[in-house]
Amino acid sequence: MFNLSILLPVVLLIVVFATLAIFALKKWTGSLKTALHKDAQIDAQIKFQGAQLVLALAVLAAVYLINPGNFAAFFRPGDVNAPAAGIAWLAIPPGTAWLEIAATIGLWITLGTAIFMGLQLKKANAKFSRLPAYLPWVMLFSAVNAFVEESIFRVGIVAPLYGQLATPILLLFSGIAFGIPHYLGMPKGIAGMLMAGFLGWLLAMSMVETQGMLLAWAVHFVQDVVIIASVFLIHQPAAAAPAPAG
């Protein structure tokens, strides 16, 4: 077992590298000439999500090597009905089942995400007519993207550092690490960064208290469905084939 003075910089380095790699992969995959699908947006997402998945597997392998015991404890579904320690400022009493918390708070977070993205859609005068055709792909890409980001920003932080850092600091670390990249991501800007930071903190708490990643992935997946569907529509020309996302 590494001591904290070595472990913390290593984990920070992995997370920073993975974050920068995500932005680099988006640019790199966008420059690839070989088409994997005739629709430009779907093609761009196939390449990007595939490259991200390879990156996430590399991060998971590194986490396993750092702390195999904690990796096994968190890289699993976990107990979705585990009782929460309570979140006083959110009026969540101790003993509330995490499934109930995820359903309730997840609904409000999804509503906030939908409102934020809805404003972007309105600004872009997006057309909804082709959404049904995109929806199966949106679901697939959302599932992969949520897995990738949970692997990097939750498992990649919680698993190696659990038991080494005080839990409140660990949760804050995960929230900050997840929030900062969203300044340039989607949702973007200060509002997007704060929304993502809060979500990252909450999902890290769910992972610690359920001892697994299923609830964190599920809540994240729903947000990504809203976001990725919106991105497809925002970059949908009024007529002709869709333009590449990004």
Contact criterion met (CB below 8 Å) for 177 and 155: no
Q: Would residue 242 count as lying in a domain?
A: no
Q: What is the DSSP letter of 129?
A: T
pLDDT in tens, 182-230: 888 777 788 889 989 999 999 999 999 999 999 999 999 999 999 999 9
Quick one: tokens of 83? 């009782």
Q: Name all contacts of 135-143 with Cβ < 8 Å and 24+ positions apart.
A: 135/229, 137/42, 137/45, 138/225, 138/228, 138/229, 138/232, 139/225, 141/45, 141/49, 141/224, 141/228, 142/221, 142/224, 142/225, 142/227, 142/228, 143/221, 143/224
Q: Would residue 245 count as lying in a domain?
A: no
Q: Would residue 243 count as lying in a domain?
A: no
pTM for the full predicted model: 0.91
Q: Would residue 215 count as lying in a domain?
A: yes
Q: Would residue 165 count as lying in a domain?
A: yes
Give the Å distances, CA to CA, from 95 to 84, 101, 207.
5, 11, 16
Domain containing 155 equals 4-234
Distance of CA 19 to the CA centre of its chain: 12
Q: Which of 31-40, 71-80, 145-154, 237-246 has the lowest mean pLDDT?
A: 237-246
Contact criterion met (CB below 8 Å) for 97 and 83: yes
What is the pLDDT at residue 170?
97
Q: Would residue 80 count as lying in a domain?
A: yes
Q: Would residue 246 count as lying in a domain?
A: no
Q: Would residue 239 count as lying in a domain?
A: no
- As for how many domains the chain has, the answer is 1
Query: Residue 87 forms beta bridges with which residues?
Result: 92
